[in-house]
Structure 1
């Protein structure tokens, strides 16, 4: 019976699964590249489409939010209907929406296309990890996940540089379109290869709509959008009436929690398994990463605008200037993965402290070295922040999921990723609102300074959550208790 369940182990030398992994890695590279590459294109989009500040924020926040909301339902859909089928559908949608983004004639068109692109990314991403688990066993699985982690780091590191090169080659006015068009040949090749190489999902069949929890997805999405609106539209929406959206957001999110509890009681699968939050390390880890993503993803947003619009850097120069953060993160990620089992949550505390210090020194560098040399002055502190970031993301994921029961591991991982994307959307909205409020009266340097303060505040809040987890662990150890499992 066990031999029938794990056919790849009976044919270990078969190279097919490694070629299939290559398809998965290219698709993952595309979806993650579209997070970092678009940041450096924002000033070009602003000029080319005469885009208001609020729409620039939605270009990033909308993608992150749609991506996050569809992660968990897409994972369930792939398990039920076939991962290859959902993977290919997501690739087709991602390729078509990338073409729509590149062809956009106005900012509303671009924002809607980015939302669709985010949905497609949400369809693809959970299939990658599920396919790796399906195709590989033992050490091979660890090697495959390690390769995927490397791709994640590379996509983040090369995004700003690739975006800068494309815009430099195609021109500032229309070059941003090629940031999206670059996905088209990759997408077409991936679809063709996925049809040939990816395996079917054993026991795939039909799925009930209620198992995807569409009501939960809609309530969570509406609640987050209501939360973002007054911040993203702060410059366009005059008066204090916009802040009434905050109690509306609170009501929608409360209704979401009520619905999720109701689903659990009735035996349906909720989009978020609330019982997971009884595990201290899990809920603190989820809170930590939500706050951290709110802080660190917003850095790229305001830094590229400051460099390109405020200091008149080219897209390529701006891409080079922010690359130290991505390089530092990529270099430290492997080290963090090796050290987390030895040092635990204190390693994350050290990483968050490095990020907060790096961002604070970046703000100081802008003051000490104003003007066009600011990009050079920012490089060392951004490298420090990036090295710290590498000690946060992967180690936190390992620690957050360490005490989760195995039968809920899929839902727990999906919820954690959803928190990352929601945190990105919230951070870009909040930091962007502060940044654009200061641009007019006080200039770009002051706006950048204020934006960084908000980013640092999010990172410090994440640091407090990490310290709280360490302190709780020490208290539990003094009492002689084992790790919490419920």
Structure 2
């Protein structure tokens, strides 16, 4: 069947295919946060030590982050459909294994496998969106993707609380993993039928770069490990891994440039960073996720440890943020082609305003009523979050050639994972240091949220600077600029909107 005859069928089912992609992405991102509220259940039901609990959370984040860029490249070279289905199958099987764990070591190992599989799934989603949609439809698809990211991140504590409440403290933690299984199986069946079998363009240069994978993986591991283990590893020696990470990542950069000069296909096309839209968008995304992820981290601690909320009540309290964020992302996906970076500026301003509103709310309404007091600020912050994630993703990837969309998505999401780990380490240090020294968790929460707000404001400054530059030089707007030479062999204007 020719590409032309295949197009009508692909047009009919690509939105259904998008639903499969978003479902796979949803459960993989949900597992970043859903486990947090199940840690006490793991301790009582499995005898999981503090170190085991730490690795159940951080091990997933590490494996997730390490797999992203290589998996994105793998999808570009071997096919995103195959890569997504493979990652989803492994993720579902690992979820079963986690739920059946009889000991801490079993659970940690399976959790690492689960995280790596999630890292395989994530870049295929953005790559398939790039490949199946174009223009305003692509922006709309990324709007739905932004809703998925926002809801999965924020609804985790609520879903975990419901499962623990339903199945009890002893075995409730197992259902945190088992809940993925029916969803994963349904997505696999639907994906096998609906995901388009799009052609993979391979001209002989499209080979994997194992040494590049090794350098990047070692560099990301050295960077993330002291961040995700900041609370568990005592002393300052762990920070020696940061300069080691800088050396490894510097070596990776040199290696990739050499690969490009020799005419070989690198793991990451460094020409991506000559695209102003990609570089700036990736930086904004990194800083935004550094601030965003910490919100749920410190709020969950405060609500359960200080306000006396149950895990379920804490999840319900955070729900307004998730709902508002989903709405904001959907709206942002429809408006981004009209308003561009100004939408991101509005979104980041809303997040900062919402966080400051929560700081004021916990000061004015202490005790049990704090959840109601912070509802409106969380709605404002949630709408701002939705208006940031979706438009920024669209603007960041808009000029990325489709043949490199998976690798670009992997790089973008690796930055998000690094930002999340950094933000939790920084804000967590502020929160726990104040609790340890003063024992006033309300003030600790306020200091933590103010730190998160400062991080969000850095992203806002970047977005405002970019907006001013665009207005000063409208001809340099990345949405209409040409792709620099050397960035792949096909430009952003490739006719791929119909799955070609």
TM-score normalised by structure 1 residue count = 0.85
Question: CA 1:231–1:53 in 2, change beyond 3 Å: closer, same or farther?
Answer: farther
Counterpart of 1:217 in structure 2 is 213
The question of 1:177 aligning with 2:177 is answered no
Which residue of 356, 366, 373 maps to 1:360? Answer: 356
Deviation per CA, 1:345-368, whole angstroms, max 9, x where unpaired?
222122112211211221232233
Structure 1 residue 319: Cα displacement:
0.7
Greater CA deviation, 233-242 or 366-375?
233-242
Q: Of residues 181, 199, 202 in structure 2, which corresponds to 1:202?
A: 199
Q: Is the 8 A contact 2:66 2:221 kept in 1?
A: no
Q: Deviations over 1:212-250 (max 9, x none)?
A: 333333333333333344444444444333332232222
Alignment of 1:37-186 (within 5 A): 37-45=34-42, 48=45, 56=53, 58-104=55-101, 109-131=106-128, 151-152=148-149, 154-156=151-153, 158-186=155-183
The alignment status of 1:9 with 2:3, answered yes or no, reads: no
Question: Any idea what SS the aligned residue of 2:309 has?
Answer: coil
* Alpha-carbon distance between aligned partners in 2 of 1:239 and 1:57, rounded to the nearest angstrom: 17
Which residue of structure 2 aligns with residue 329 of structure 1? 325
Deviates more, 1:313-322 or 1:109-118: 109-118
**Equivalent residues in 2 for 1:243-258 (5 A)?**
243-258=239-254
Matched ranges for 1:389-408 at <5 A:
389-404=385-400, 408=404
Once the 2 structures are TM-superposed, how far is the Cα of residue 112 of structure 1 from its aligned partner? 3.6
2:487 aligned residue: none
Q: Which residue of 1 aligns with 2:427?
A: 431
Relative to structure 1, the CA distance from residue 414 to residue 55 in structure 2 (aligned partners, 3 Å threshold; closer, same or farther) is same
After TM superposition, list the pairs within 5 Å mapping 1:275-314 onto structure 2: 275-314=271-310
Question: Structure 2 vs 1, CA of residues 343 and 264 (structure 1 numbering), >3 Å: closer, same or farther?
Answer: same
The Cα RMSD (Å) is: 3.4
Q: Distance in 1 between matches of 2:116 and 2:203?
A: 21
Shift of 1:402: 3.5
Extract unaligned runs of 5+ from structure 2.
485-500
Structure 1 stretch 266-275 or stretch 143-152: which is displaced more? 143-152
- The aligned length equals 480
Deviations 1:20-69 (A, max 9, x none): 55544432332232234334434544665566667655544443443343
Question: Residues of 1 paired with 2:142 and 2:109: CA distance?
Answer: 33
1:31 aligns with 2:28: yes
Higher relative contact order (CA 8 A, sep 6+): 2
Cα-to-partner distance string for 1:42-101 (whole Å, 9 max, x where unaligned): 454466556666765554444344334323432333344444433332122101221233
Mapped partners of 1:333, 1:22: distance in 2: 16
Q: State the distance in 2 between where 1:188 and 1:94 align.
A: 10
User: 2-side partners of 1:32 and 1:291: how far apart?
Assistant: 18
Is the contact between residue 357 and residue 377 of structure 2 (CA under 8 Å) also seen in structure 1? yes
What corresponds to 1:269 in structure 2? Answer: 265
How big is the shift at 1:303?
Answer: 1.6
- Pair 1:453 & 2:450 matched: yes
